[in-house]
Amino acid sequence: MTLLFATHNDHKVEELNQLLPDSISLISLNDIGCEVEIEETGVSLEENAKIKADFARMKFGLDCFADDSGLEIEALDGAPGVYSARYGGEERDMDKNIQKVWNELKGHQNTRAWFRTVFYLRLEGKEYVFKGRVEGSIIFEKRGTKGFGYDPIFIPKGYQKTFAELGDDIKNKIGHRAIATQSLIKVLGS
Ligand code: IMP
């Protein structure tokens, strides 16, 4: 089956397609020529995933799927959370986002954090929500060149290296999106 993934991020589509069985293939908003940027006005990952899936369902009348993810830091009461992409400013600059995390976390002993993702699926008139989470901690230097976002400052629990050092092989096993994808596959494959 082919399913619309309500995102313009082809990197994400490729990442998820690698995790899905060959029988399921995702296409992006770019693939169907949709240039509209869906505004993420929700105050939670759950709300934003639903907004994106509902938009695509209404506009194109297709079954579809959307996601929203973020980094949540315990000592910062869950920030940057839903604002992860623009924590350091509307220009969505990752260097500024990371610098702000370091500034806010300065002086805290507790560096516990986790990535969380929410998938929202609209399929044949039904709605499904799937969640994934990976625990870890924040470090005060950047390490590694793989991945994206906060990967260079996040060490997953049980490892000594950051996600940016570990790379996709590990992320595809223990990562937040990988975990949510397992639940997605169960529904799509059934
Ligand atoms: P999105 O909803 O998946 O686009 O994620 C929003 C923001 O959360 C991204 O711009 C990143 O800053 C951060 N983020 C989400 N997933 C990851 C990840 O796997 N590694 C690093 N940062 C992430």
Instruction: Place 97 in a pLDDT band, splitting at 50, 70 and 90.
Output: very high
2 pLDDT band, cuts 50/70/90, is confident
User: What is the average pLDDT across 85-100?
Assistant: 96
Enumerate domains of the chain plus CATH numbers. Answer: 2-189 (3.90.950.10)
Local structure of residue 41 (DSSP, 8 states): -
> How remote is the CA of residue 150 from the centroid of ligand 1, in Å?
7
Determine which residue's CA is closest to atom 5 belonging to ligand 1. Answer: 69
Confidence of residue 189 (pLDDT cuts 50, 70, 90): confident
Q: What are the tokens at 147? A: 């991945």
Predicted local distance difference test score (pLDDT) of residue 190: 56
Burial annotation 61-90 (CB, 10 A radius, 16+ → b, else e): eebbbbbbbbbbbebbebbbbbebbebbee
Residues 50 and 47: their CA atoms lie apart, in Å, by: 5
**Would you call the peptide bond into 80 cis, given omega within 30 degrees of 0 as the criterion?**
yes
Q: State how far the alpha carbon of 81 is from the alpha carbons of 16, 23, 70, 114, 130, in Å.
A: 21, 33, 5, 10, 17
Amino acid at 13: V
Q: What is the pTM of this model?
A: 0.92
What's residue 143's pLDDT? Answer: 98
Q: Is the pLDDT of residue 14 over 90?
A: no
> Which residues form the catalytic set?
68
Is the pLDDT assigned to residue 157 strictly greater than 70?
yes
Nearest CA to ligand 1 atom 9: 85
**Ligand 1 pocket list (CB less than 6 A):** 68-71, 84-85, 115, 147-151
Q: 36 alpha carbon to ligand 1 midpoint, in Å?
A: 20
The pLDDT-based confidence of 137 (bands split at 50, 70, 90) is very high
